[in-house]
Amino acid sequence: MAENEWRAENCPDYGDAYCDAGVCATCDGAWDCEDIEYISEEVIAYYDTNGDYSINPEDDIETEHYSILIEYCDFNNDGSLNACEIHDCVVICENEWRDSYCPDYGYVYCNCPYNIPECDGAWNCADVITIT
């Protein structure tokens, strides 16, 4: 479909159009990558109370909320959620929502817009607490 080729080149985060007999699928309430970035920043702003741009035990967060976020979003299993983990988790939630409410609409694919430096072997705060 020419539209999907155009979208892939010009708006890769927007997703494909799914059309059948000339009618394109729409999905009211679906988020695009811009929405997901905004929501990710809102989640971080709400839970990151110590200003380190991550969600970890040092933040003023209820244990139950922290445990749920870690269970579903701590993709590198370090006990802390960085901005990209939050962003990727919101993408997953959006695609699960689409499965339930708009299965013919297709998934959204968004690259993490945050530059998160990585340092193999560096300890996070949870590591320091455990070690000491």
Q: What is the pLDDT of residue 14?
A: 60
Q: Count structural domains, the chain.
A: 1
Q: Yes or no: say if 96 and 89 are a contact pair by the CB < 8 Å rule.
A: no
| Residues 6+ away with beta carbon under 8 Å from 66 | 55, 57, 59
* Model pLDDT for residues 50-90, shown as the tens digit of each residue: 988 899 999 999 999 999 999 999 999 999 999 999 999 99
What is the extent of the structural domain holding 63?
2-131
